[in-house]
Amino acid sequence: MNQLQRIIGRIARYSYNSLPKITFNLSSIYNYDNNPRLQGHLLKWQRYYANTLLKEADNNDTNTKPNSLAPFEDIKKCKTVISVLNLFFKYQYRYGCSDVIASLDQIYANASRTSSLRIVTALPNNPKFNLLCDFAKRKAGHFNTDELLQLLKCALKIQSLIGDTLSAQLGQLSNHIILTLERRIESLTILDLLVILELKIGSRLKLKVINEQLVNMLIPIIHEGKDVQLLMRSFTVFAHYGIKSSVVGKLESWIANHFNELSIEQICDVCNAFHRLNRRCPELREMLGQRAAHLDLDGLSEEHVLSLMRSFTYRPLVVEDLFEKISNYVIKNINNMSTYSVSQIARALSSLRYYNKDLADAIGLHLTDKGALYEFSIQSIGDILYVFARWNHLPEPALLRKVISKIEYYIKSTPNMIIPPIVTSIWSLIILDTFPHRAINALFNEKIVSEIHSFGTGAIQVQMFQIDLAAKLERPELQLQGLSHSHRNHFLKPLKKFSTKGSVFQHNVQRTLEYLFDGSHYYWKEFKTAYGYSVDLAIMTDLNNVLQEPKVNVLRSKNKPTHYKRIAIEVDGPYHFLHNSTKLIGESKMKHRQLRLLGWTVVQVPYFDWEELNTDDERKQYMKRKIFGDGPMNINREN
C-alpha cells in the first residue's frame, strides 16, 4: 500500500485548481486477486495517469471525458452506443469487472432506445464493440459467479437485440462464460441456479444429469422450507434433460420428513416442480390429500393455487375436499383473477373429470358480463370451451352468441399462429351440439386448411376431421363447404393410427359375449370404422334381430346397410364419465351421437352397471337384454 500512496501523491501534484475535483475509486484495483496483476496495474497507474489527467483538462468531448478515476459513473452518462464504445476504447486500461458489465448494459439500453436500426445491426462489424467483447472474454476468469451471470445476461440481451445478425465476438464471449460456469458447477448456489433458470441456459451448460455431488453439498444447508422451495424451482429448468432419481429422491425424502413444517405456498411450488420433473411422488400427494381438509386457500395467490391444482394432473388423483376448496376459491375471486389462471385451473379440474356445477355457472356468468369476455384471449376462450365440452355443460345462449362472435372475429383478423385454439373452440361447441356455421365456413378456407395440413398437430387435424364430419352428419341443411377429399383423408390418418389396449373391464365383457354366443367369431373387437372411430366390440344382426357372423365390408361401409344392423358395444369405464357421476364426458357423448348417425346402433355398457352384477349368469342375462331387448336371442349358425 505504500507504493499505492506514492502514486496517489504523484497524481495529486497534477491536480491544479483549474482541474475538476478528483474522486479516487480503488474498486478496479482490488478486482485482481493475485500480486503480479496488482503490481502490473499499479505500474500502469504510475506511468499513465499523470499525463492523462493533464490531457483531460483540455479535452472538450463531454460524452467521453470521465469526471473521475471511476469509469462506472461516466459510462452511465453516455447517451449513445458510440460514446460508450469511445469511452472504453480510450480508457480500457482502467476497466474492471463492474465497468465491463456497465458498458454492455449501457450499450443495450442505448441501442434499444435508438430509432435507427443501422447502428444496432452494425454492432457486430464495429471494431470497438468486438474489442470490448474480447476484453470481457479475457477478464472473465477474474469475475465471480454473480458477475459472470450479469455479464452473460447483458451479452444475451444484446444478441437478442441484434437478431439474426451473427456477432462472432459476442458469441465467443457467451460460450466462454458458459464454459467458465460449467467449470464452477460445484460452487453454484441455489440462487445461481435460479438465475440460470431465468437466462434459460440450462441446456447449454450441458447439465443433462444434475451432479449428485452438488445436491450432497446443498442438502446440509437446507434448513427451511424456502430453501428447498428455491432448489426445486431451480431444478425445473433441467426437467427435459433428466435428473437422477437418487438426486430428486433425497429432496423428496427431506420434504416428506418436514412436510408439516412447509407453508402452503412452499407446498404449491414443490408440487409444481415435481409435476414438471415427471415425478409421481404418491407419498407426498397422499400427505397433501390428508392435509387438504385443513388448508386455507384464502391467503394464497392465484399462481400458487394454479400450481397446486396442476400438481395432481400428472398422476391423476382426485382429492375432493381440496378440489372443492379450489373451486370455491375461483368462484369467490373470479373478478380479480387473470383470465389465464381461471382457464387453466378449470382445465386442470376437467382433465381429472372433476365437475363443479357452481364453478361452471360462475365462469359462464363472468364471461357473460359486459366487457369480461374481451379480456380473454382466444387461447383462454378455447380452454374454457374445451372445459365446458368435457364437462358436458351447456352455457347460456347469450354467452354462446358472444363467444361465437369473437371466434368469427379472430378467424378473420388474426394470423395463422392462433389457428389451433380456434379449431379447439369450434370443435368444443360442436360437442355441445352448437354449430357456428359462419365460423366453420371461415375455418374451411383453403389457406387455413393447408396450414393445418402442413403444420397442425395430430390432435388438431383430428378435430378438423370431426368438425367436417359433424357438419355433414348433423347439419346437412347448412350445406357447408367442408374439406376436400385429400385433406379429409390426411386428417383422418392420426385417428386411424390411434390404438388402445383393452381394459380388464372390456376383456370381461368380451368373455361374457363368448359364453353368450358360444364362440368368439360373432364379434369383432377394437373394430375401426370407415370414419376412424374405434368400436370396442362390433356385432351384426339381420333386420329380424338374428345374430350374424360379422362381415367386414358391411361393418366398414360408409353407407347405412339396408339388410343388416350394425351394433357397436361401447364398454365405458370410469374415464368415460365425470368423477362420481353417471354423466358422460363430452367426447364420448359426441362419439355415440355420430356413430348413430353413421348407421350404428350403440349399446352402452357402463362400469357402474357392470359392478352390480355378481355372477356369470347375471352378466349374460344383462348383455342379452342390452343387445336383443326383451325378445329371444336368435343366432344364425349356418356359416
**Inter-CA distances, 14 with 56, 462, 557, Å:** 12, 82, 101
Give me the percent of the chain exceeding a pLDDT of 70: 73
- 4-59 pLDDT, tens digit each: 444 444 444 433 333 333 333 333 333 333 344 444 444 444 444 433 333 333 34
User: Alpha helix (H) ranges present in 19-165?
Assistant: 27-30, 35-57, 71-75, 81-91, 97-113, 117-122, 127-139, 145-162
Higher pLDDT: 543 or 114? It is 543
pLDDT at 186 over 80: no
Q: Which of 187-201, 237-251, 549-563 has the highest mean pLDDT?
A: 549-563
Cell digits for 523? 364379434
Cell digits for 486? 385429400
For range 408-436, the mean pLDDT? 86
- Residue 567 pLDDT grade (very low, low, confident, very high; cuts 50, 70, 90): very high
Only one residue has cell 368380451, namely: 510
Kind plus residue range of the DSSP H or E element containing 385: helix 378-391
- 432-481 pLDDT, tens digit each: 999 999 999 989 888 889 888 888 788 899 999 999 999 988 988 888 88
- Residue 583 pLDDT grade (very low, low, confident, very high; cuts 50, 70, 90): very high
Sort 211 into a burial class: Cβ within 10 Å, 0-12 / 13-18 / 19+.
middle
* pLDDT at position 270: 78
Sign of torsion over alpha carbons 184, 190, 191, 195:
positive
pLDDT at 331 over 60: yes
Higher pLDDT: 495 or 163? It is 495
* pLDDT at position 29: 38
Q: Quote the DSSP letter at residue 339.
A: H
Higher pLDDT: 49 or 192? It is 192
* pLDDT at position 64: 42
The pTM of this model reads 0.65
Where residue 501 falls (left for φ over 0; alpha for ψ -120 to 50; beta otherwise) is beta
Cα–Cα distance, 583 to 586 (Å, whole number) = 9
Cα–Cα distance, 97 to 151 (Å, whole number) = 9
pLDDT at 512 over 70: yes
Q: Which residues contact 413 (CB under 8 A, 6 or more apart)?
A: none
Q: Which of 255-259, 264-268, 495-499, 625-629 has the highest mean pLDDT?
A: 625-629
For range 154-166, the mean pLDDT? 73
Sign of torsion over alpha carbons 613, 614, 619, 625:
negative
Cα–Cα distance, 307 to 286 (Å, whole number) = 17
Only one residue has cell 351440439, namely: 433
Minimum mean pLDDT range among 40-49, 145-154, 162-171, 489-498: 40-49
* pLDDT at position 63: 43
Inter-axis angle of helices 97-113 and 81-91, to 10 degrees? 160
In this structure, which long-range contacts are made by residues 296-301, counting pairs with CB atoms below 8 Å and at least 24 apart in sequence?
Answer: 296/264, 297/264, 297/325, 297/326, 297/329, 298/329, 299/264, 300/264, 300/265, 300/268, 300/329, 301/265
Higher pLDDT: 456 or 246? It is 456
Higher pLDDT: 76 or 624? It is 624
Minimum mean pLDDT range among 57-71, 229-243, 329-343, 410-424: 57-71
Higher pLDDT: 500 or 509? It is 509
Q: SS in 3 state form for 428-451?
A: HHHHCCCCCHHHHHHHCCHHHHHH
Cell digits for 450? 393447408
Indicate the average pLDDT of the chain. Answer: 77
* pLDDT at position 208: 41
Q: Which of 45-59, 101-115, 195-209 has the highest mean pLDDT?
A: 101-115
pLDDT at 69 over 60: no
Only one residue has cell 452438488, namely: 214
pLDDT at 368 over 60: yes
* pLDDT at position 194: 57
* pLDDT at position 221: 59
